[in-house]
Chain A
Amino acid sequence: MNATVVLEHVTKAHGQMVAVNDVSLSMKSGEFFSILGPSGSGKTTILRMIAGLDVPDSGTIMIQQRVVNADPPHVRPVNMVFQHYALFPHMNVFDNIAFGLRMRPEAGRNIRQAVERMVALVRLDGKSQRFPGQLSGGEQQRVALARALVNRPVVVLLDEPLAALDQQLRQEMQGELKRLQQEVNATFICVTHQQDEALTLSDRIAVMHAGTLLQVGTPQEVYDQPASSTVARFIGLSNSLSGTMTRLENNVCWIEHEAFPTLMARYPSGAAAHGPVTVMVRPERLHISLDVPDKGYDNTLPAVVHHIMFHGNEMAYQFRLRNEAVWTARVPIGETRRAQLAIGQAVYLQWAVHEGLALVP
């Protein structure tokens, strides 16, 4: 597969703040590529630079093997779906979608046909005479998508496409996005701060933090082998404990901590490094045993229940460890019935080797 969009050593500063710092990326043709990061990590700036709405301070941006640094947005084969959709309020759905085609004489005379096909594709049949103000959030989102896709762009840029929708609609639109992407077969570059969104939708994910690219990989890779503890934290590995690596064998390492028994965890980075490491465990992977540690787990940490939160389908427990660190465990509601935990109760947190991850901090 050839690369549709390539960024080479791209840097962009907004005044004093470096928004994007020496980022190199390459998006393959036809893939769903997500840029994941907290707000202010520079992900939207990357999107705007690909669209041509921002100009990089240094580095090159190529679209289809052509350097586009100096091209204004209206000549790039790229269309953007803006965060708040940016639909034209004085035009109805039809005119909004037709806008891009009407701006390009070479788009041909079959505008009506093309727009109607798009209206059907995003399931807005019968609504093409409505104005944006008369549409629900989900419908506006579809119009924004159709307005971009009707131009048959090589690359579709999506800026937090689902952020303005409520939970249920978001899940519905996730499926819709994936379906549309496969149907039009364009490269989708999506910016989001929601890890589940990125994991579900993407072929590949780039994780960004404070203007720097931390890791690029498939959702599986990023999820299972985060390159650093920052990436790990960002994709839901929230429990961590720092210790010293004393032994490394077959990608499994032994970690010593003065307050706890020896822990074992996967060490995927492969680099032999005896020294400080951070052990990380996902909240949903922790096993809680009450009076005595259960058998069959490689790691056991004594802890005290600190806080209990009811989340409807699951319970979230916060524990305080001996070193004052706070860990979280998430337990599906069906499993909590076995034993009720009380604040202040002493328990054991347990997990198997492969469920913990050791990372160089």
Chain B
Amino acid sequence: MRHYSSHVFPLPVSFSFWAAGLFLCLFFLLPLGVVLGVSLASRGLYGGVQWIGTFENYRRLADPMIGVIFVRSILFASLTTLVCAVVGFPLAYMVARASQRWQLVWLTLVMIPFWTNFLVRTYAWVLILRADGLVNSLLLQLGIESEPLPLLFTDLAVGVGLVYGYLPFMVLPLIVAIERIPPQLEEAAYDLYASVGAMFRHVVLPLSKPGFWAGGVLVFIPSLGAFITPYLLGGGQKMMIGTLIQQEFLVSRDWPFGSALSFGLMGTALVLWFVVSRTSLGKDVQ
């Protein structure tokens, strides 16, 4: 295919190849190389990078404390992805099957939060969840609780924040996937004695798989490295990889270790992707 088109359009293909290559080199490989270099260097006495080669930074990743942080981050990211899928699917289905006019309305509503800065939106959750915040004052007013619930700085708050932040990344690919399923397939299933539940289980859900995959990756990867949400809503009490890396760079001023952590994070994501895509779950992704 590529061979054929390169004969017909020799210039555009090679041009776009080199353009994409150049872009990747400049904005992806080069920074990555710098980070790799720093991760193999030593920390200066007062911060900064001393170009003395060492594997010490990677050796420090084996620390059980770091392991706990990695596992916790993976758990949070997995749960976030799962909740986003469960919450996002009905929403995506509704939007995908809405009339064209309503589809535009729903899509705009899904996208509107992106018009505001993520940091600001996360702060809004602080206002909602804190002791004298929206939820607690409502509960007190209604007499459901007599004491404000400790909502902020909990795992729940972090989870809510992560789901809130990344839900659109699950919903949008799902909408695309569901829209591609001809409604006639649903009618055919009903005609062949399927109940509503059976129709979804046997027809729409399996055919939405590509959407779940794309959405899953788009939610899992950023929530694995998230640092604003755990920092603001979790109070930084339970360390996550994202917050740890941020701390190494900005607070401890240990760039080499922060870089090594970054590579550890990337490696983890790659290994997880490899493992999952080898299982039966991912056989249609390759």
Interface residues of A in 54-99 (CB under 8 A from B): 72-75, 78-80, 82, 84, 86-90, 99
- Which residues in A have their C-beta under 8 angstroms from that of B182? 84, 86
Whether B184 lies near A84 (C-beta < 8 A) is: yes
Residue B191 contacts which of A80, A87, A88, A104 (CB distance < 8 angstroms)? A80
- Chain B, Cβ-Cβ closest to A157: B191
Tell whether B198 is near chain A: CB-to-CB under 8 Å: yes
A103 touches B (CB below 8 Å): yes
Is B97 an interface position by the 8 A CB rule? no
Q: Are B187 and A82 in contact (CB under 8 A)?
A: yes
Does B192 reach chain A (CB closer than 8 Å)?
A: yes
Interface residue B194 (Cβ < 8 Å from any Cβ of A)? yes
Contact partners of B184 in chain A: CB under 8 A? 82, 84, 86
- Name which residue of chain A comes closest to B186, CB basis: A86
**In angstroms, how far is the closest chain B Cβ from the Cβ of A95?**
9
Is A53 on the interface with B (CB-CB < 8 A)?
yes
| Contact between B193 and A86, CB atoms less than 8 A apart | no
Q: Does B202 contact A (CB under 8 A)?
A: yes
User: What is the chain A residue whose CB lies nearest that of B206?
Assistant: A90
Give A100 to B189 CA distance when docked, in angstroms.
8
Which chain B positions have C-beta within 8 A of A209?
A: none
B193's partner among A51, A82, A100 (CB-CB below 8 A) is A100
B188 touches A80 (CB 8 A): yes
Q: Does A147 reach chain B (CB closer than 8 Å)? A: yes
Q: Is the CB of A53 within 8 A of B202?
A: no
Q: Is the CB of B185 within 8 A of A103?
A: no
Interface pair A86/B194, CB less than 8 Å apart: no
Assess the A86–B207 pair: CB atoms within 8 A. Answer: no
In the complex, are the beta carbons of B207 and A103 less than 8 A apart?
no
Interface assignment of B135: CB less than 8 Å from any CB of chain A: no
B177 vs chain A, min Cβ distance (A): 12
- Beta-carbon contact of B192 and A53 below 8 Å: no
**Contact between B194 and A53, CB atoms less than 8 A apart:** no
User: Which A241-259 residues have a C-beta within 8 angstroms of B?
Assistant: none
Known: A90-B206, A90-B207. Is A74-B185 also a contact (CB below 8 A)? no
In the complex, the answer to whether A73 meets B187 with C-beta atoms within 8 Å is yes
Q: Which of B185, B187, B193, B198 contacts A151 (CB 8 A)?
A: B193
Report the separation of the CA atoms of residues A52 and B182 in the bound assembly, to the nearest whole angstrom.
18
A74 touches B203 (CB 8 A): no
User: Does any Cβ of A come within 8 Å of B252's Cβ?
Assistant: no
Q: How far is the CB of B127 from chain A (nearest CB, A)?
A: 46
CB pair A88–B193 under 8 Å, yes or no, is no
With a CB–CB cut-off of 8 A, which chain A residues contact B195? Answer: 74, 103
**Counting CB contacts under 8 A, is B190 at the interface?**
yes
Min Cβ gap B141→A in Å is: 45
B191 touches A103 (CB 8 A): no
Which A residues are CB-close (under 8 A) to B206?
90
Docked-complex contact A100 and B192, CB < 8 angstroms = yes
- Which one of B191, B194, B202 lies within 8 Å of A51 (CB-CB)? B191
The docked-state distance in angstroms from the alpha carbon of A293 to that of B190 is 63
Contact with B along A159-172 (1 / 0, CB 8 A): 00000000000000
How many Å from the CB of B185 to the closest CB on chain A? 5
- With both chains docked as a complex, state the minimum distance between the C-beta of B207 and any C-beta of chain A, in angstroms: 6
Residues of chain B with a CB closer than 8 A to A84's CB? 182, 184
In the complex, what distance in Å separates the CA atom of A104 from the CA atom of B194? 8
Query: A99 to B202, Cβ gap below 8 A?
Result: yes
Query: How many whole Å from A121's CB to the nearest CB in chain B?
Result: 18
A74 to B188, Cβ gap below 8 A?
Answer: no
Closest to A80 in B: B191
The distance from the CB of B112 to the nearest CB of chain A, in whole angstroms, is 31
Contacts of B198 in A (CB 8 A): 103
B191 touches A53 (CB 8 A): yes
Check if B203 sits within 8 Å of A86, measured CB to CB: no
Chain A nearest CB from B191 CB (Å) reads 5
Question: Assuming the A-B contacts A84-B184, A86-B182, A88-B185, are A73 and B203 also in contact, with contact meaning beta carbons closer than 8 angstroms in the complex?
Answer: no
Q: Which residues of B contact A87 (CB under 8 A)?
A: 188
Q: Which residues of B contact A75 (CB under 8 A)?
A: 193
Query: Once the chains are docked, how many angstroms separate the CA of A53 from the CA of B183?
Result: 12
Chain B nearest CB, measured from A105 CB (Å): 10
Nearest to A90 among chain B residues (CB) is: B206
Which A residues lie within 8 Å of B191 (CB)? 51-53, 73-74, 78-80
Set of chain A residues within 8 Å of B189, measured between Cβ atoms: 88, 99
Asked if residues A73 and B207 are in contact (CB atoms below 8 Å), the reply is no
| A151-B207 contact in complex given A86-B185, A88-B185, C-beta closer than 8 Å | no
With both beta carbons as reference points, the residue of chain A lying nearest to B182 in the complex is identified as A86
- In the complex, chain A residues whose CB is within 8 Å of the CB of B194: 74, 99, 103
Map CB proximity to B onto A30-57 as digits: 1 under 8 Å, 0 otherwise: 0000000000000000000001110000
Question: Among A74, A88, A147, A151, which residue has its beta carbon within 8 angstroms of that of B190?
Answer: A74
Closest CB pairs A-B (n = 9): A100-B192, A103-B193, A86-B188, A86-B184, A73-B190, A74-B193, A80-B191, A103-B194, A99-B192
B residues adjacent to A (C-beta < 8 A): 182, 184-185, 187-195, 198, 202-203, 206-207
**Besides A84-B182, A86-B187, A99-B192, 12 other A-B contacts (C-beta < 8 A):** A52-B190, A52-B191, A53-B187, A74-B192, A79-B191, A84-B184, A86-B184, A89-B207, A90-B207, A99-B189, A103-B192, A103-B193
In the complex, 22 of the A-B residue pairs with CB atoms within 8 angstroms, ordered by the A residue number, are A52-B190, A52-B191, A53-B187, A73-B190, A78-B191, A80-B191, A82-B184, A84-B182, A86-B182, A86-B184, A86-B187, A86-B188, A87-B188, A88-B188, A88-B202, A88-B203, A89-B207, A90-B207, A99-B192, A99-B194, A99-B202, A151-B193
